[in-house]
Structure formats: structure tokens, C-alpha cells
């Protein structure tokens, strides 16, 4: 057999096996497996359960996820066998009929960290923003303007005090105080830290002592009253977000 024939035969074999690889029917990916592992679902491969109840009726969760274009998490928030669905700024829980229904909506934005539901409130402090970014490097440079709650038996409760979180907040407040309250972005950053401290400890008197210790500017009473107003807004948002869904 000539070299030319061998070469042609080899090319034909390669082409045959390549066609098998690319055109042979592949096993479709199961979105339930992706959801169960806490991964995002961005598209639909079939329209099985679970179902989700909307104002327009009951639809497949896969259809709704694909049409809305929102990332979806299926996570276990309350320690029970059934998992909850987190999509955008909403949480859905499965009812007795096996259909997911909306149980919580927080328009400022929410996230999930393990079994914790994180509510963001940075938008409520924008009036402190002077147009310049904070210039000081903080010991903890992660997000601060968030409240950690737990979804338990159809309601939201505060998590137990996280002392490690307290320590991060206090170290940052000390750095901000040393940098100078009048500097760009410092007031807003300090207010966000004080609010985070308040929700982590659920102790207004302790929050006031921490505030007086670190916020020494002449407008401290005005800022404190503004903080109380923001906290009141947040409490109402959390309460109404649950009340309106049941």
C-alpha cells in the first residue's frame, strides 16, 4: 500500500471519529443538578418541576429564569429539607402544593452567604456622598453596608452577634477616625459601619456608645438622628417585605 493511500485512509478515519464526537447526540445538562449545587441557571434545557407562582399564574422555574435573564440560586436557608429559591431581590419558598411562591422581597438588593440572607442598604446613605471616593485604606476592605438575617419558618430573624464582624467594624472605625471625619467619603463610610454594628448587636445603647467614641465631629447629633431615621426605614422595609408576601 502506497504512502498516499495510507495518508488518505488515515484522514478519512480521523474525519469519521470527529463527526461522531461533534454530531452524536449528547446527554442534555440537567439544570436541577446545577441548582442543587448552588450554581447559576441562565438557560433552559427542559420544563420539569419545580414550578413557581407569579401574578400571571404558575410557570416552570426554568422558563421564568430564562425569560427574566436573572441568575437563580436554589439554597437551603432554614435548615429544612426543602430548598428556597433566590432570584434577584426576591426569595421564594415551596408551599404545601409543591409550588414556589414569593415570601420576601427587598428592593435595595439582597444576597446569600451560606444560610445568611444579606440585605444591602448602601443606597440609603447616598446623601453623604460628596462626589469623591474614600482615599484611606481600611484594615477590612470588604463590603460593609449589609445586614445579615436568617429565614426561619416563613420569617426573617436577626443572626446572633458575630464578634469577629464587630472587630472588623471597630478596626475600620478607628482607621476612619484617625484619617479625619471631614475627609472625602469618611462620613458616609462611618455611617454605614455604625448601622452594620447596630444590626449585628441589636443593642441601641451600645451602638450609641460606639458612635460617641468614634464620631466626634460637631454635627454628631444631626448624624445620629439621621442614622436613626435610616434604621427605622430599614426596619419598616424588612417588616413590610414579609407582611406583603403572606
164 class by beta-carbon count within 10 Å (0-12 exposed, 13-18 middle, 19+ buried): exposed
Beta-strand pair 90-94/155-158: unpaired
* Average confidence (pLDDT) over 89-113: 88
Q: Tell me how far the alpha carbon of residue 169 is from its chain's centroid.
A: 20
Average pLDDT, the chain: 80
pLDDT band at 134 (very low <50, low <70, confident <90, very high): confident
Produce one character per residue of 16-35: b if its CB has 16 or more CB atoms within 10 Å, e if not: eeeeeeeeeeeeeeebbebb
Residues 159-199: tens digit of each pLDDT: 999 999 999 999 999 999 999 988 878 999 999 999 999 99
* Average confidence (pLDDT) over 128-141: 80
Closest CA relative to residue 204, chosen from 64, 2, 212, 169: 212
Written as nine digits, the cell of 129 is: 456622598
User: Percent of the chain having pLDDT more than 70?
Assistant: 76
Half-sphere exposure of 210 (CA within 13 A, CB side): 23
| Beta carbons of 173 and 195 less than 8 angstroms apart | no
Q: Is the pTM of this model over 0.85?
A: no
Amino acid at each position: 500500500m502506497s504512502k498516499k493511500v495510507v495518508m488518505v485512509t488515515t484522514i478519512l478515519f480521523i474525519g469519521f471519529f470527529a463527526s461522531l464526537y461533534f454530531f452524536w447526540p449528547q446527554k442534555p445538562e440537567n439544570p436541577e443538578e446545577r441548582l442543587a449545587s448552588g450554581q447559576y441557571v441562565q438557560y433552559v434545557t427542559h420544563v420539569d418541576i419545580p414550578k413557581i407562582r407569579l401574578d400571571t399564574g404558575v410557570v416552570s422555574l426554568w422558563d421564568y429564569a430564562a425569560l427574566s435573564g436573572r441568575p437563580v440560586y436554589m439554597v437551603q436557608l432554614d435548615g429544612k429539607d426543602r430548598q428556597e429559591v433566590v432570584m434577584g431581590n426576591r426569595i421564594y419558598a415551596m408551599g404545601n402544593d409543591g409550588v414556589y411562591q414569593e415570601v420576601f422581597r427587598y428592593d435595595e438588593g439582597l444576597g446569600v452567604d451560606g444560610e445568611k440572607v444579606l440585605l444591602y442598604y448602601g443606597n440609603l446613605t447616598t446623601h453623604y456622598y460628596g462626589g469623591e471616593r474614600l482615599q484611606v485604606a481600611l484594615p477590612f476592605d470588604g463590603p460593609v453596608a449589609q445586614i445579615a438575617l436568617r429565614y426561619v419558618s416563613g420569617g426573617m430573624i436577626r443572626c446572633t452577634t458575630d464578634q469577629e464582624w464587630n472587630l472588623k467594624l471597630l478596626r475600620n472605625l478607628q482607621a476612619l477616625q484617625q484619617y479625619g471625619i471631614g475627609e472625602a467619603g469618611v462620613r458616609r463610610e462611618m455611617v454605614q459601619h455604625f448601622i452594620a454594628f447596630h444590626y449585628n448587636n441589636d443593642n441601641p445603647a451600645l451602638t450609641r456608645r460606639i458612635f460617641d467614641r468614634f464620631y466626634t465631629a460637631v454635627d454628631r447629633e444631626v448624624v445620629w438622628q439621621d442614622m436613626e431615621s435610616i434604621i427605622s426605614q430599614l426596619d419598616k422595609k424588612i417588616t413590610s417585605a414579609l407582611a406583603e408576601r403572606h
